[in-house]
Chains A and B, each alone.
Chain A
Amino acid sequence: MDKKPLILLVITALLCAFPAIFIEGEYGGTDGVVEEIPTAVQWFSPVFEPMSGEIESLLFSVQVAIGALIIGYYIGRWQAENSQT
């Protein structure tokens, strides 16, 4: 792996880990704020809601896996194409 992206990825990981380690908080989603608006009424409910937090995180990881698979596939393919010529 190239040095530049590797260094950037390490910095990114540290940056994301920093708050969770050093700052106390509930770490809920910022979108929860909408439900706290006193005048807000939810006039339409989601068509499908994941049955539990576990299933929700499963679906989110599936989303990441699909995206990462596509990116990895093309980068690998491009690298192979380039090394042939």
Chain B
Amino acid sequence: MTAARDVDVLVIGGGMAGAVAALAARSRGAAVVLVRRAPGATALSSGAISVAPDLGALPGEPLASRRSPVEAAQRLAAAWRDHPYAVAGVERLAEALAFAAAELGQVLAPPLDRRRFLATLYGSAVGAGLCQHATVDGDLLAVRGTLAVAGFRGHAAFDAPLVAAGLARYRPRGGPEVRAIELDLPALAPGAARPHELALALDRPGAAEALGDALRAALPAGAGAALFPPVLGLDPAARVLARIRERAGVPVAETLSDVPSVPGLRLHRAIEARLAEVGVEVVQADVAAAPAPGEPVRLGDRELRAAAWILATGRFVGGGIARRGVLAEPALRLPVQAAEGRDAGVQLALRPAASLTVRDRRRPQPLLSAGLRVDGALRPQDERGRPVHPRLFAAGAVLGGHEQATDGTGLGVAILTGFLAGRAAAGGG
């Protein structure tokens, strides 16, 4: 057997946190290997990255919020002391967001200094600090003229009249006029009702053009933009939105997605493409009970040694944290000891599920926010609060103390902590 190969940084996990970490280290010239098992929760994300909720905004009136995402993150960090924003600090959040948007520029649009207000499938709007190109022209504060919400005949999963009626409520807060329209999908096979099937069909030559023609014919007078369900192509290179727009003559956007998520899959593709482009080596392997940075680690059929490791394995969907009776971190067997909510308390990992959850589903759930505790430099801590290893870092959902589904940060924590960990692992700033 050959001797272990040496690289600078090993990133474990290929979601948003791992990708941003790898790209951040690579952009500082480090030799980076990224090992991942499978697409994780990032591929299931909605297409927008909230970054931070505006805790002072009026409930039900998202468009009334004018606080910038970074400012909102500062407030959040001040209010929730166990949150990764508070632990890592948000001083470099704007830099991290700009970095991620630039690196993944194939799908992500450059951030504004305000949040964009994007439509959901439920006919509501949410504020996003970062979003995909596919949603930019659906920003409710940017639409000039009537917003046409376009449903597909035969596609029961998207209720255009419902979305339109929901969005029309934001008119007094600066939202556009909204109208629902219905289009035929002549080029698609009947029964192609699943989102990714529609998206694949639209990637094909001619399909987007046909849809653009159908849209132009159905547009109401004074239409300024058209909003579609989140199925406008899987392959960013297929330029589905641009092709529709060229034929229809108006800007085109998608709503945000639920699961399964075409925008999530698109983001995953863009991450893969960018990692390959900048020369981050991606290895598909399972890492369990690995040693420590500086030690050789076995990845599938090869052995590797890296001076710095970044653990970005996600939480339960990603597999970074698992529970079989007790909570554990399977890759390096680090202690799981951080969680959100006053009921978290001691012995987090060992307590039964019923006592790590609270009745009100909307409240912070210690069990769902469980993960690693890290110091200010994002180094996981042992039970006594000391860094496990000086060159071991962690990023993203594997960090405890927050739950992205309910705290309104989306992939913001992944981007910030991935960026900081990547730069720290590469040395320098």
Q: Do A and B bind each other?
A: no
| A residues in contact (CB < 8 Å) with B | none
